[in-house]
Structures are given as C-alpha cells and as structure tokens.
Amino acid sequence: MSTDSFSALNSGVVRRGRGLLIKVPEIIAFFWITKVATTALGESTSDFLNGYLGPAIAVPIMLVALGWALRRQFRADRYEAWTYWGVVVMVAIFGTSAADALHVGLGVSYLLSTAFYVTVLAIVFLAWQRSEGTLSIHSIRTRRREKFYWATVLATFALGTAAGDMTAMSLNLGFFGSIWLFAALIAIPFVGYRWFGMNEVLAFWMAYILTRPLGASVADWLAVEPSRGGLGLGTGGVSLILAAAVIFLTARLARTKMDVRVEEVGLDGSDVGGLRHDRALGLDLG
C-alpha cells in the first residue's frame, strides 16, 4: 500500500475523483452494545431532567441540544464516533420526552401512543424507500439520505419508549418482565439473519427498533423503587452510571476506529470499489 493510501485510510477519508464517505458506523457487536447503553441513558436522563427541571424548561433545552448535535453531524465530512453517538444520545433523550408527552401531557394511552409512533415510523420508511430506493444504512452517502436516517432514528426512539411503557404498565409485565420480552424479540432478527437468510436491511431495522424498548426497560428497572419492581437507584444515579458507560464505549470506538467503514463511492451513492474497513486490510490503527 502506498504512503498516500495509508494516510487517507488513517484519516478516515478515502476518495476517488469525487467520491463521498459514508457517515454511519460499521455494524459490529460493539455497535449494539453502545446502542443499548445510549437508549437506556436517554430514558433515565429524560426522566431525570423532566422531574428536576419540569417539562417546560427541560424539553426546550433538549431540543436545542439535539439541534446542536445534529448540526455538528451534518457538517462533519466523515463518521466520527463522538459526534455520531452524541446525536444518538440526544435523540434518545428527546425521543423519550416526545413519547411521554403524548401520555403525560395529552392523556393518550400507551397503546395508542405506540400505534401512533408505529404509523410515524412507517411513513418515514415509505418516504425514504420511495425517494431513495433503499433503506440500507450503507447507502448513507448524501445529505438527503442522512436526513431520512436521522428522522427514522428519532421515530424509532419515540416508538421504543412508548412500547416499553405499554408492555410494562398496560400489559402489566413490569419493567423486568419487559426486559426479557424485548431480549427474546431482539433475538429473532439476529437468528433470522445468521441462520435463516433474513434480508439484511429488514434484520437491521428490526433489531434497531427493538433495542430502544430493551434499553428503556433496563433504565426504568434500575431507577424505579422496589415497590414498582425496580432496584430503586433513581433516575439521577442511573443516568450517571450509564453516562460513564457510554463515554467509555464511545472513547474505545474513537480510539480503535473498529467501526470505521471506508469505501469509495460515486456521487449518486453507487459503489465504485476501493478500500473497505481497516480490519479487512489487516491494519491496526488503534
């Protein structure tokens, strides 16, 4: 490999002519661990801020922080772990409040709020598919596709929060029971893709959607008092623990670049060949 090629790979930028870089991480085991941790953090932090500051103050702060994080992500020219996962955390926090607003603020039942966000997510998926012809995250190479991606992520977080509350409260499974339910459900796309040939895009989005109620149920179980079936650590304490976990995971991803996916693509998002993930070349950039 030439010095120029190695330098381009090490910097995370690989271009041929007018190629563009994918701005989402490679899907590895560490991705799912970090995803569940961020979803749980979003649940506990949203509950803490709304309880401590009140929704009238907390929600505008969340919205501003989300806007700032998205602005950084859209302005970035490559995937960068701190920027990307910072957006995921803020989407998790705001998405929790968006789901809670329907139930707490407007009195909508958890069943109806879950159905509402299922409809919202379906509309986003339909619009994305009709516009771009694919829902694959490996196609996130244009600003428009990136916008569809983050709109989908926000919808999945709101849906997951509502679904987790529905199973725990409306279906009386409790938070611990909900953890086991969603852990079992999330195994379906993993097993289906690994051994039964399930479509890769379908398996990914099924797993992605289900990580949200799984993480939210874990956070609620840790936070709520024992009389409600939890461990009683409180939303503030759980938020601190989960924040430390997310910082550790993100720092490791940023340092090792194990989830950096590098390839050359055309402006229309089509592959034109070239370098792939650094581990495929046997390089250790950590």
pLDDT in tens, 221-269: 999 999 999 999 999 999 999 999 999 999 999 999 999 875 544 334 4
Query: In this predicted structure, what is the pLDDT of residue 20?
Result: 54
- Residue 204 in domain: yes
Q: How confident is the model at residue 101 (pLDDT cuts 50, 70, 90)?
A: confident
Query: In this predicted structure, what is the pLDDT of residue 263?
Result: 55
Query: In this predicted structure, what is the pLDDT of residue 21?
Result: 73
Rounded distance, CA 91 to CA 155, Å?
A: 9
pLDDT, tens only, 146-158: 999 999 999 999 8
Backbone angles phi, psi at 81, to 5 degrees: -55, -45
Asked if pLDDT for residue 162 goes beyond 90, the answer is no
pLDDT, tens only, 52-73: 998 889 999 999 999 999 999 9
Number of domains in the chain: 1
- Residue 5 in domain: no
pLDDT, tens only, 39-49: 999 999 999 99
- Residue 6 in domain: no
- Residue 4 in domain: no
Asked if pLDDT for residue 19 goes beyond 50, the answer is no
- Residue 11 in domain: no
Provide the domain limits for residue 257: 19-281
